[in-house]
Amino acid sequence: MTEKQSARISSLRKRKIFYYTESCGPDSSFEYEEPVRINNANNPRSADEFSLPIEEDGAKLSKYESERQKNIEERKRLFRELKIGDAKEELLAVAVRKKMPQKKSPWKKSYKPVLPSRPKSLRLQHKSPSGDPLPARNEPVATAKSAVDAVISRKPSGPLPMESAVGNKCEQEILKKFMECCKADFSPQMKLTCELADFRRELCKLTLQADTICKVVPHRICSMAVHPAENNLLLAVGDKWGNLGLWDVLSDSGHESIQLFQPHVGPVNCTSFCTYRATKIYTTSHDGTVRCGDLNKLVFCEVYASDDKLLRNHTTWHCQMGESSIMIAHGNGKLAFVDSRAKKQLQGWYTCHERSVRTVQVHPLKQQYFITSSALCEVKVWDQRYLNKKSPDPVCNLVHPKGLTSAFFSPAGKYVVTTCNDDRLRVYDVTNMITTRPNVIAGIKHNTHTGQWLTTFKATWHPQRDDVFVVGSMEQPRGILLYSCKGERLHKLMDENLASVCSVCAFHPTQEIVFGGNSSGRVHVFM
């Protein structure tokens, strides 16, 4: 067999046409005949076209090819009976020709009429509604090299006189009225000890009136404190640019019911009335200073000023430990113990966190313990008796998924409520925190992303109840939320006159009154 014949046999095998018979070996000769093509004369393009090989000596159709040929013959017969070829020709005759692509019309430019430019508003022109120019605003400007290490120019060290920050009359007679509000001694007895259900019904009765809404400070409210007197309502409010406003809520003297001072130049992060002498007001500012406003002496005394050479030397929070001692938190994670009566006022300087200490609070009953919250996802409870060690360990460490804005003990020290940036409020049972790790008894989903234009939320307890706390809300319609220690929403304070977010909220210590401050300096009083 020649090489050409072998290649031909191989190609025929692939086509399943040629097969060896018993008498046909690899060396035997063979003859190949082209397959006969059977065409349909009537329909040359029909599907009846097929090719079949003719049997020859030495080569015959396999069983598979025989079956295939029978099937083809059967289909051919069916096609002739059904007249498939004729139907195909008819369809081809009536087939729709392809439409020629239409030429697109050239794009027509739409010419809009040029409107005349609008004139600037009187507000942008810094003019009054009558058109008169307004006086220039002297807002303090931060001279910081970075947003983290803010070095803001401070007020002169030493006592500052209580002078009005807006040029209003600030006579002694007006301040004497404020002192009368502070004369009532606050009794720390638990007065609001009714059942939670009864207290909830009382909260539902609180309303907001138009005359209980007032702009106390000119800028965003950062902190707020309520005087514990029962015979009157006195409120202290600190804003973003170091202003401190005092508001006699029940006064009818108009503008004289509000007195505005400026003891700082940075945000007033924390404001509180002295626990032992109600005529004193402590303020902690981002400019690194802590001052005490004395309504008797009419001065703001400097309690503490951080070292300018330290990085992140701003002060963030304070908590009073005694009549003359105070605990001050810093942005560098440090904690300062200050005694204003001692010769060396700085009594201690301790590291609690690697970064900013957001809040600090002494345990209400066990004064040796205090709690700190940090931007590094940590809440730690410390024992100040062991802080003198080289590396003191906290009593317990409550780790959170993200940074915190606050952590506070309840009035009896049973619970701790934390506000975290993972949109969660958590309540811990710290009754046995020394022996066992505190457990989360309530986790509340709460939007805490206030953005850069609003003060961050800080959930705070009722001063006389261990089962109620208040926090601001981003929900629509706007309102103030009150929760129980078990995470149940007790009530939402709403009113048609409340159309903004109240970031800073507080209870009255002895009365069923709730205060809420917004970013424009207004305070809303639900009573």
pLDDT in tens, 389-409: 778 899 999 999 999 999 999
Structural domain tally of the chain?
1
Compute how many other C-beta atoms are within 10 angstroms of the C-beta atom of residue 255. Answer: 9
Radius of gyration of the chain (CA): 44
Contact 430, 442 (CB under 8 A): no
pTM passes above 0.75: no
| Euclidean distance between CA atoms 32 and 65, whole angstroms | 17
**Rounded (10°) CA dihedral 423, 314, 327, 363:** 0
Q: Which of 419, 517, 524 is nearest to 220 (CA)?
A: 517
Provide the pLDDT confidence category of residue 274 given band limits of 50, 70 and 90: very high
Residue 430: per-residue pLDDT: 95
Structural contact between residues 503 and 450, judged by C-beta atoms closer than 8 angstroms: yes
Say how many C-beta atoms besides its own lie within 10 A of residue 337's C-beta: 17
pLDDT at position 123: 82
pLDDT of residue 395: 94
315 in any annotated domain? yes
Q: Report residue 141's pLDDT band, with 50, 70 and 90 as the boundaries.
A: very low
Higher-pLDDT residue of 199, 103 = 199
The amino acid at 215 = K
- pLDDT greater than 60 at residue 45: no
470 domain-assigned? no
Q: What angle do CA 320, 423, 505 make, to 5 degrees?
A: 40
**Which residues have a Cβ under 8 Å from the Cβ of 208 and sit 6 or more positions away?**
493, 495, 497, 498, 524, 525, 526
Give, in order, the Cα–Cα distances in Å from 445 to each of 426, 442, 448: 9, 10, 9
pLDDT class of 26 with cuts at 50, 70, 90: very low
Within a domain: residue 242?
yes
- Closest to 177 (Cα-Cα) out of 86, 89, 250: 250
The Cα angle at residue 429 between residues 406 and 399, in degrees rounded to 5: 50
Report CA-CA distances (Å) from 44 to 78, 80, 300: 17, 13, 113
Q: pLDDT-derived band of residue 182, with 50, 70 and 90 as boundaries?
A: low
- Residue 236 structural domain: 159-185+223-452
Residue 66, classed as helix, strand or coil, is helix
- In the prediction, which pLDDT does 400 show? 95
pLDDT at residue 140 greater than cutoff 60: no
- Specify the pLDDT at position 240: 95
Hunting for tokens 């609690």 — which residue is that? 352
pLDDT at 110: 66
Give me the CATH number covering residue 301. 2.130.10.10
* Least confident segment among 61-70, 92-101, 238-247, 359-368: 92-101
With b for 16 or more beta-carbon neighbours within 10 A and e for fewer, the 505-527 pattern comes to bbbbbbeebbbbbbbebbbbbbb
CA dihedral 350, 354, 359, 363 (to 10 degrees): -50
**Phi, psi for 258 (deg, rounded to 5):** -120, 130
Q: How many CB atoms lie within 10 A of CB 407?
A: 28
On the question of pLDDT at 25 being above 90, the answer is no
DSSP E strands, 182-305:
208-215, 221-226, 234-239, 244-248, 258-261, 268-273, 280-285, 289-294, 299-305
- 126 inside domain: no
Task: Say which DSSP state 410 is in.
Answer: -
* Residues contacting residue 389 through CB under 8 Å, at least 6 positions apart: none
Q: List b or e across 271-286, with b for residues whose CB sees 16 or more CB atoms inside 10 angstroms.
A: bbbbeeebbbbbbbbb
Tokens representing residue 225 in the block: 């404190």
Average pLDDT value over all residues in the chain: 82
Whether 90 maps to a domain, the answer reads no
Query: Would you say residue 36 has pLDDT above 90?
Result: no
pLDDT at 320 over 90: yes
Q: Is residue 110 part of a domain?
A: no
Cα distances from 505 to residues 110, 237, 350, 363, 515, in angstroms, run 54, 11, 30, 21, 6
- Measured CA to CA in angstroms, residue 87 lies from 77, 98, 387 at distances of 16, 21, 101
Q: Is residue 151 part of a domain?
A: no
One-letter identity of residue 30: F
The answer to whether residue 116 is domain-embedded is no
